Amino acid sequence: MLAVVQQTLAITAPVFAMLFLGVLLKRLRWIDDPFIDTASSLVFRGTMPTLLFISIVQADLSTALQPALIGYFVFATVASFALAWLWSIWRCPKVDRGIYTQGAFRGNNGIVGLALATSMFGDYGLSVGAVLGGIVILCYNVLSAIVLNIYAPGMKADPWSLCKSIFTNPLIIGVLSAIPVAYWKVPLPHWTMVSAEYFAQMTLPLALICIGGTLSLASLRESSAMAVSSSLMKMVWLPFLATIGAWALGFRGADLAILFLYLGSPTAASSFVMARAVNGNYQLAAAIIVITTLAAVVTTNVGLLLLQWAGWV
């Protein structure tokens, strides 16, 4: 178990380093609000769609394709989204419900979940995790686009406007354009892929620096109650319910552990980028990311310990 603790810290520590770098750069006035606006827009419109495209194109969709596992993961994701949304109606002011819901269900599978699954289960964890991640990316972005546009200031919530917001979302365009390329294994020029990887590698550090640049003690205090509530949903209640459900349906061993790692991943940095793109409460989104990333060091290891103690993995 000590090895898992060290692995979790090794994954989350660089995330915190980039967050605090953003705080420091803002204090030193090396970056300012106009830079954060421009950089966030670049991530949302350019680097993150490119990253999603590359991750799907490079994944072998025919490897470790397990319909039951994929089906349950998608079901658990949609159910978590629905529960978080219902809870937000009771818990949050209307304007913050979209941010709260996205923070409570959207996990950082590509960084934390996949790395831990690979560390624990080797090639099997990598192949299964890559397929799960590639498929759920579309779910995350569609569901987030719906709930954010319903509650975003000045946005229309009629069916046509929602469909337009979904299919013009750069993240969803990146995913949809990658699926046929990956499925039919369309060869792309080597130089194009290398250039795209250079561009995509800016995504996580730039997004985390922007998140750090928006953090302040005042904004953390203002959003603390909602951020903690959404974080508890993301890191404790929803993973617990979904993991128990997976066990009840017969999942055991590596499959159950991978489901837990993915469902219990901290909130993805892309939630901040999408919140800022729709002029939502991005300070709340940033606070949820910070809290869930810190909590992952504890909840991931406690969850795995309990699963092993019960003899389920």
Q: How confident is the model at residue 179 (pLDDT cuts 50, 70, 90)?
A: confident
121-146 residue pLDDT tens: 887 887 788 778 777 888 998 999 99
Residue 157 scores a pLDDT above 70: no
pLDDT of residue 79: 97
Q: Please tell me the pTM assigned to this model.
A: 0.86
Q: Which domains are seen in the chain, by residue range?
A: 2-309 (1.20.1530.20)
Cα 202 to Cα 22, 47, 195, 209, 276, distances in angstroms: 14, 7, 12, 11, 18
**Taking the chain, what is the end-to-end CA distance rounded to the nearest angstrom?**
13
Q: How far apart are CA 75 and CA 242, in angstroms?
A: 9
20-72 residue pLDDT tens: 899 999 999 999 999 999 999 999 999 989 988 888 888 666 655 688 999 99
